[in-house]
Amino acid sequence: MASILPRRFYRGDPALIARRLLGKVLVRVLEGRRLACMITETEAYYGEDDPASRARRGGDLRRIMLGDVGIALVYGIHRQWLLNVVAHRAGEPGAVLIRSGEPLEGLDVMRRLREVDDLRLLTVGPGRLTRAMGIDKGFHGKPLYVRDYGLWIEGGESIPSGRIARSHRIGVSEDLPIPLRFYIKDNRYVSRR
């Protein structure tokens, strides 16, 4: 079993952390079973100057995005839960959305939760990923650098920069000029190329 990523892993520019999360393993223990996905696609989000950021709205999401790094930020959109991990430089809000993953362990449970057989449809897209892994609002505000809550991120592969592509974020009406979506080029478990 790989080591859990320490809290310090998430300190830094959200775009850098989003790139570094590619190849790492998201783990959920559900019904005594280990479910695991290699992270294949992420998006970085910043603070008030980022038109697509939840931090612009203030309230709980902004407070968590400014708080301790390595914390799960879970919110609902279009009747789906989205999982982010707080990642930022000191004093600046930031988070990384986990968009997609490659299923590694617990595929039978994931198929049951998603009610689909097609492997690619299990965990490609942020709402599909959380549903397949049984991730909901109950994880909001919980640390992802300990096993205590049944959800964490482990070290996995370090993806070389030549295998990483970037683009603008998906589904945002207004975006920053720099591309903040990162994905593994040669992996089929990504939303789009």
CATH of the domain at 58: 3.10.300.10
pLDDT value at 59 more than 90? no
pLDDT value at 1 more than 70? no
The enclosing H or E element of 42 equals strand 33-45
Whether 113 is covered by a domain: the verdict is: yes
**Distance between CA 54 and CA 73 in Å, rounded?**
10
Whether 192 is covered by a domain: the verdict is: no
Burial of residue 59 (CB within 10 Å: 0-12, 13-18, 19+) is exposed
pLDDT value at 173 more than 90? no
Whether 191 is covered by a domain: the verdict is: no
Average pLDDT, the chain: 93
The tally of CA atoms less than 13 A away on the side-chain side of residue 163 is 13
Total structural domains in the chain? 1
Whether 190 is covered by a domain: the verdict is: no
pLDDT value at 82 more than 90? yes
3-state helix, strand, coil in the chain (%, to 5): 25, 30, 40
Whether 193 is covered by a domain: the verdict is: no
pTM value is 0.94
pLDDT value at 53 more than 80? no
Whether 189 is covered by a domain: the verdict is: no
Tell me which residue range forms the domain holding 169.
7-184
Which residue reads 């975006």 in tokens? 175
